[in-house]
Copies of this chain bind each other. A is one copy, B any other.
């Protein structure tokens, strides 16, 4: 958003991969500025391309659709998440790992606050962009679910697929909740801290017994006498 949006590259840029990324960013940056200034529908692809100094046809060689330009860095984030999963050892709680991975989304939003705020304003206003964002979120929710399912299956969980889908949805929802709250406040405050609190709620809800340091979730009512509680808990902890 700081680089000049007018007549940037008169020459051929996309020959090298670095140049391609540069033009991608220039197009995305120009698009966000134009959307914020004139509105999404009022901005044509021609406008965006002209602002970046390229032809309309070139825009569609960098983005499949007009609305894709708003979520340009999404693919990179997903790639980072996959790396996070690959790097995570088998010792950690799967849900915890997934929370850490989805935290990368928060990082990328925080890394470019100006764009994030403009995009947020747009997704709140334009229905089609809201839908697009939901679809985008769904994509990394799927990535989370795939990872979790694999881990649950390792643990011999019968309902691995279901648990994974539900946990992934919960994590994504917690992440989005924190993110929206933070954006509504203009990007002030410590996201990572509030995110950790939100994730704690999810982790508690979906904690799974792992390895030798077993964990047990006991659901009790006042009807249960205390001595029976002790018996039950002891049973589970030893069995």
A contacts, CB < 8 Å to B: 130-132, 134-135, 138, 159, 161-163, 165-170, 172-174, 176-178, 198, 201-202, 204-207, 213-223, 226, 229-230, 233-234, 237
**Residues B215 and A166 in contact, CB atoms below 8 Å apart:** no
Whether A220 contacts B219 in the complex (CB less than 8 A), given A165-B174, A201-B159, A201-B163, comes out as: no
A105 to chain B, nearest CB (A): 15
Chain B residues within 8 Å of A165, by CB: 173-174, 176-177
Q: How many copies does the complex hold?
A: 2
- Complex partner residue of A214 from B204, B221, B234, CB under 8 angstroms: B221
A-B interface, 6 closest residue pairs, ranked by CB to CB distance from nearest: A169-B173, A131-B135, A169-B169, A205-B205, A134-B138, A165-B177
**Chain B residue nearest in CB terms to A138:** B134
Given contacts A166-B170, A214-B222, 11 further A-B contacts (CB under 8 A): A130-B135, A131-B131, A135-B135, A165-B176, A165-B177, A166-B174, A169-B170, A215-B219, A216-B220, A218-B218, A226-B233
**Residues A221 and B226 in contact, CB atoms below 8 Å apart:** no
Complex formed: what's the CA distance from A159 to B205 in Å?
Answer: 14
**Chain B residue nearest in CB terms to A134:** B138
**Chain B residue nearest in CB terms to A132:** B131
Chain B residues within 8 Å of A172, by CB: 169
A2 to chain B, nearest CB (A): 32
